[in-house]
Amino acid sequence: MLPFDERSKSEIVFDELKRRQHSKEVVDVEEERVKIVIFMCGVNLFAFYGSDIREILPSSEISWVPCLPDYLPGLINVRGDIESVVDLRHFLGEEVHEKSKGLIAMAVRGDFHSGVMIESIEDVVDIPINSIHPALATLNGPARDLVIGEVGYRGETISLLDVGKLATLVTL
């Protein structure tokens, strides 16, 4: 190494950059992640937070109860517990032309326990929490009351639904 007087300014800068590069500590930051359950309801994809879905049940017999609103097709027996079933298509503006033969997602949030009728499960994934974007302010239609955000999935944007908001709509 040359004495300070004999080195050019560029050599000094270059040496300083090398020194800094070697002294940098690499910090591996783990992004906070959240599990989501992606499902088909009607002809569209939607998602719930995984923490709100206790289990997925195969299609089972729904016992009809008189005087229930259209969005509550009846009750099911889940290992001795009687649970209501919500037809989510009613709240999403999806066409309700017949009883679904799909699956039932058991949704739980606070005191709300209910089966939610869905067509199929597409995926269960862990995503970075910062990949959830706010719902569009211009979102129209019945789904607007349930959507709390949007996530990208396989090139599509899907709506993230809030079980808490569903509970509020069902118990009104």
Instruction: Say which CATH number the domain at 136 has.
Output: 2.40.50.180
Is residue 2 situated within a structural domain? no
Cα separation, 136 vs 138, in Å, equals 5
Any domain includes 115? yes
pLDDT of residue 18: 75
How much of the chain is helix, strand and coil, in % rounded to 5?
25, 40, 35
Within-domain flag for 13: no
DSSP 80-92: TEEEEEEETHHHH
Q: What is the pLDDT of residue 99?
A: 64
End-to-end CA distance of the chain, in Å?
A: 80
In a domain, 103, yes or no: yes
pLDDT at 142 over 80: no
In a domain, 87, yes or no: yes
Candidate ranges 20-24, 48-52, 59-63, 168-172; pick with highest mean pLDDT: 48-52
User: Per residue in 69-100, pLDDT tens?
Assistant: 989 999 999 988 899 999 999 888 877 766 65
Number of domains present in the structure of the chain: 1
Range of the domain at 87: 33-170
For residues 11 and 130, the model is more confident at 130
pLDDT at 144: 82
Instruction: Write down the pLDDT at residue 60.
Output: 83
Q: Chain-wide mean pLDDT for the chain?
A: 85
Single pTM value for the model: 0.76
**Residue 94, domain member (yes or no):** yes
